[in-house]
A and B are shown apart, each in its own frame.
Chain A
């Protein structure tokens, strides 16, 4: 198979298993103390700044970053173990998730020294939260067609106009990394990749409006973020003017590669496991086995990506592949379980399986859309196969 799709197996990491045990113990204590309750898809919906700060205090945010920026210089394998444990427990990690996963690494790669100094230690402390500023009302999968514009004014600052959508937790966040058009597109089919730029935008700036968009279960996580002559200081350019497409592609590799792309519905699988253990029902046990085999394969793929990140690679094509397979799995978890459990899904169900099923079902359309639709991802994989 094409080498751009496959990665070497991840070597075992004792350090990762050590920190995994620590996180597991911490989560058990927090659950026992009632500081959080388990839910499905909490990396989107579980905003809890106090919880995020606790993770920061324990050194579990900004884990792989240099110490001089508040990081902990640990491996991607260790970070993988931490994020995986948090997701499996359905812990409230949404506040810091984007900042820790992709905005921080983006700043590390492309930010100025001043930007890094100002922001990274606060992310690592669990105090500073980010949004993704990519999709727009008229630009989803066709990201390069965005229309939000920024132009330099006489002071050298950026004046931003336009709107971003599906902006998760903008109402709880401090900054956004916003993709804007700063120059005209070039010629040819890939010409519109030119003239794009990333800006680091303080969401409290005048002229920014944040309007809620409710998802299927009524939850407020998404927003529309409107920019009306917003003046962004000139030194808030992220990376290079005109290099936004290249930078956003790198950011997406981080966005797509983690265990949240197959563990969003794990809390449902965990409840189902308890049910199958109680009933001893053969169909349930077989379903648990089939789903677990898929999950185990996804873990291996995701671990390989973590190991590749530790080698300094940016495996964007394998990341797209894992996200396609992973999000298909997390949606299938709902269907497979409801086929073998006698339960009515409801957010008000007294049965934990019924409640988790309801949460997972109502969030399900998002799994295979966010962070790049599976059709876009398969296009990337097809490129890895040499087909385009």
Chain B
């Protein structure tokens, strides 16, 4: 058994004690699941021990995120392990205690101004509102990607203590918190980043969502194949009908394509000496776009095969299909990343498309 298998098995064991539930304003996340994961050190996987993490490779963190996504775990682990945590470390900022949920805010109008509040250099004052913040109101810490002061190129990544900040209650299609945070002059440690490095952080976040999508889509396919094998109509299982087989095969094609590209994009990030390199960003963009496109086919056909029961909150399917419908447009919409990819592949001009396509992954 590899280390990753062991990690996956541990996460699965923990998940088994926490059934997914329909998220509401009153119960916006699975605090019990988080506590168990944190106690097992799983909320620090892939983050170096010297920074307070649990150690391990990017692949281990991806394995944790995949397993939790497939299990519809309502916890900010993808944000913490794959996006916010690595972004803070790359910017030489301190990582908060991994037992306290950390998220990333990349949207909205937030500006950072340098401040001298007596806590030394690297202190910033943040004003404005961060929007579409995953786990707003849940995450204790928020890594905010803010606009640099006027006249300064790039962006500021700052670590904000979210306690006491005004939060709006907005949720995505699966009920996951996606509210706004009003920064209102919050003081924070931060670092000025080049536009390329800020772009790299956005791409990492998109890739985190793509990883979640890949895992969720695989699980949706598995559930649908299983259901088609069990549900009997006209005296035989649904899966014996050729029309249903065609649908399941189409789903499998989409899921397999997504997994192959997401794996490749993760490897590209893992191998890169510069995580903000042009090709690494494009690989993440492609993974995000491809995964999002697959949701159209996979979620539609999964619901079609499941029939009416899949259209209810009584049955498990919605935990993943609703998440997929949201995740594909989070951390940058599918349209945004499609354009980033289209523009990026043409960076060397119209004749440069093929060389770019064969180089990115």
State the A residues within 8 Å of B (CB): 1, 5-6, 9, 20, 24, 84, 88, 266, 269-270, 273-278, 282, 284-290, 292-301, 304, 318, 321, 324-325, 328, 375, 377-379, 381-382, 384-388
Contact = CB atoms under 8 A, between A and B. Distances in A.
A297 B254 CA distance: 10
Contact of B257 (A276, A298, A375): A298
Contacts of B341: 288-289, 292-293
Nearest to B288: A293
A382 B243 CA distance: 11
B357 A295 contact: yes
Contacts of A274: 350-351, 353
B343 interface: yes
B260 interface: yes
Nearest to B259: A6
B358 interface: yes
A20 B358 contact: yes
Nearest to B244: A387
B346 A273 contact: yes
Contacts of A288: 341-342, 345-346, 353
Nearest to A278: B350
B228 interface: yes
Contact of A1 (B221, B289, B337): B221
**At the interface, is chain A mostly helix, strand, loop or mixed?**
helix
B55 to A, nearest CB: 24
B100 interface: no
A293 B338 contact: yes
A385 B225 contact: yes
B27 interface: no
A297 B263 CA distance: 10
A9 B346 contact: no
Nearest to B349: A277
A321 B342 contact: no
A278 B343 CA distance: 11
B350 A5 contact: no
Contacts of A284: 342
Interface residues of B, number: 55
Contacts of B334: 290
Contacts of A286: 335, 338-339, 342
B81 interface: no
A381 B249 contact: yes
Contacts of B225: 385-387
A273 B341 CA distance: 12
A351 B357 CA distance: 24
A282 B353 CA distance: 17
Contacts of A381: 249, 252-253
B285 interface: yes
Contacts of B283: 296
B344 to A, nearest CB: 8
A387 to B, nearest CB: 4
B257 A301 contact: yes
B261 A289 contact: no
B228 A378 contact: no
A375 B246 contact: yes
Contacts of A289: 285-286, 289, 337-343, 345
A84 B293 CA distance: 24
5 contacts: A273-B353, A289-B345, A290-B289, A378-B245, A379-B246
Given A20-B358, A84-B358, A387 B345 contact: no
A382 B249 contact: yes
Contact of B293 (A5, A273, A293): A293
Nearest to B221: A1
B353 to A, nearest CB: 4
Interface string B256-291: 111111011001000000000000000101110110
B339 A378 contact: no
A379 B245 contact: yes
Given A9-B263, A285-B346, A378-B253, 9 more contacts: A1-B218, A9-B267, A266-B354, A296-B283, A297-B258, A297-B261, A379-B246, A382-B248, A387-B248
Contacts of A287: 338, 342
